[in-house]
Amino acid sequence: MDKVYVLSDGEVLSIDAIQFEGRSWIVPIWLAPLGGSKKRPIRIIAPRFPPGVNVNDPDLLQSFFQGVQLPRALLKQGFLPQELERLVEVRENPDIEFDIPK
């Protein structure tokens, strides 16, 4: 799992990045049951790119999130401001799991 640096409310945050459905996404919050071996994202966020752009390029993901301020309310509560609707896609509670490293 990679990390992406994201600008949020004037701070730089280090957030996990995953591949899902052929795209790169950031995962601001994970749900990991106590004593469990799997974790799943509460929310995933991906840039909306025009057709023909390589949406799996981690460098492109990093570049995008360095240039776009994401409000903390989007990362923590999933509130997507209208001005960001055309720039990012947000999915709540996607049906995916990842192993928790031991």
pTM of the model: 0.89
Note the pLDDT tens digit of each residue in 60-100.
888 888 889 999 999 999 899 999 999 999 999 999 998 88
Query: CA 36 to CA 9: how far, in whole Å?
Result: 33
Range of the domain at 27: 2-99
Q: Count how many domains the chain has.
A: 1
Cα-based distances in Å from 51 to 27, 37, 91: 23, 37, 20
pLDDT the model gives residue 94: 94
